[in-house]
Amino acid sequence: MFKKKHKYNIAVVGATGAVGRRMLTTLEERNFPVGQLSALASARSIGKKLPFKGGTIEVKQLTENSFVGVDFALFSAGSSISKKYAPIAVESGCVAIDNSSAWRMEKDIPLIVPEVNPSALGSKCGIIANPNCSTIQMVVALKPIHDQYRIRRVIVSTYQSVSGSGQKAIEELKQQSRDILDGKSIQKNVFPHQIAFNCLPHIDIFMENGYTKEEMKMVDETRKILGDSTIEISPTAVRVPVFYSHSESVNVETELPMEVDKVQNLLSSSPGIFLVDNPEESEYPLAVDACGKEGVFVGRVRRDLVRTNVLNFWVVSDNLLKGAASNAVQIAELALKRLEA
């Protein structure tokens, strides 16, 4: 039984990782009512210190007992950890918000983007799934268009930063860039090919249908979040040598005709979206500008050259924030509101 409190005990699982660290800063920046905070990671990280609210917290090893007395557990330590420990957390009375793909497509698990489908959360909070980073920023932009014009088809190409593959991937891009500029040979550990000064049309594993798992996540999760399994989605996911923020080129076909200025107004007045669309002044969303911000930035809105019901736009967001940590903390805020109601 949920008890309303002044402050809530939080556990961050995978606290030393690229997303986990952002979860700590987001809890702090959004002023979530944090009581005790447990920073959990593998045995390798025991005793490491992480910054929080002007001080530091010591990392502890994740165990089956880590969730006793915890109210909210935020998971970002990969699918196998979430598969095993999220049910244990819920069993201990926790709301478990999971950033991995372990639970997203389970029928009874809500998959939530608070600006898009808050009502899918319901009143019972057990495991709540946080969608894939590329999906989140796309659905935030698609939702108002779908509500107004009814989307039939989406063709999307992503330009995804290396931080989506974790802290080791960030180090790999740095090291390869240095080595190439210094004329040295490179090491490949995280990515199957050189990522520095290159683009890889390969994120996650290849499926039998020729698409990657990342691409299929965008298809399946978008349909689940928008609650419409008839939307056709054609994705290509590409890893690019950018450290933070994902960019996407989106082509959207709707049932009703669209006018660019109306869509721009609609987007700029929708929650979570910032319109940056002034091409004459070379103003459009950029990965480096979105980095460190919580919003979803949309620009280059333009109609198809021939068809009145087809539109193109460019959407950028910080994959570690709105694509992961901020969305997770927003879900915690939403769950808290439901539970306290």
- Residue 24 or 276 having the CB closest to ligand A2P: 24
Q: What number of chain residues touch ligand A2P (CB under 6 A)?
A: 17
CB-nearest residue to ligand A2P: 17
- φ/ψ (deg, to 5) at 263: -65, -40
- From the list 94, 125, 146, 246, the catalytic residue is 246
| Interface with ligand A2P (CB under 6 A), residue from 10, 11, 41, 140 | 41
Point out which span in 27-35, 36-44, 106-114, 202-210 binds ligand A2P (CB under 6 A): 36-44
113-172 residues in contact with ligand A2P (CB under 6 A) are: 166-168
- Give the shortest CB-127-to-ligand A2P separation in angstroms: 17
Under rule CB under 6 A, residue 38 binds ligand A2P: no
Number of H helices, E strands in the chain: 8, 13
Which residue of 42, 249, 251, 309 would you call a contact of ligand A2P, by CB under 6 A?
42
Closer by beta carbon to ligand A2P, 195 or else 336:
195
CB 98 within 8 A of CB 129: yes
Q: Does 24 bind ligand A2P (CB under 6 A)?
A: no
Assess contact for 243 and 116: CB atoms under 8 A. Answer: no
Q: Which of 94, 133, 146, 291 is catalytic?
A: 133
Restricting to residues 56-85, which ones interact with ligand A2P according to CB under 6 A?
A: 62, 77-78, 81
17 binds ligand A2P (CB under 6 A): yes
Is 291 annotated in the active site?
no
Query: What residues contact 192, with CB distance under 8 A and at least 6 apart?
Result: 200, 202
Please report whether residue 20 would count as binding ligand A2P according to CB under 6 A: yes
Tokens representing residue 254 in the block: 């709707």
Give the burial string for 259-291 (b: 16+ CB within 10 Å, else e): eeeebbebbeebebbbbbbeeeeeebbbbeebb
Q: Please report the sign of the dihedral spanned by the C-alpha atoms of residue 195, residue 220, residue 99, residue 294.
A: positive
Using alpha carbons only, give the angle 34, 39, 45 rounded to the nearest 5 degrees.
Answer: 165
Helix-strand-coil split of the chain, %, nearest 5: 35, 25, 40
Active site residues: 133, 246
Q: Which positions touch ligand A2P (CB under 6 A)?
A: 14-18, 20, 41-42, 44-45, 62, 77-78, 81, 166-168
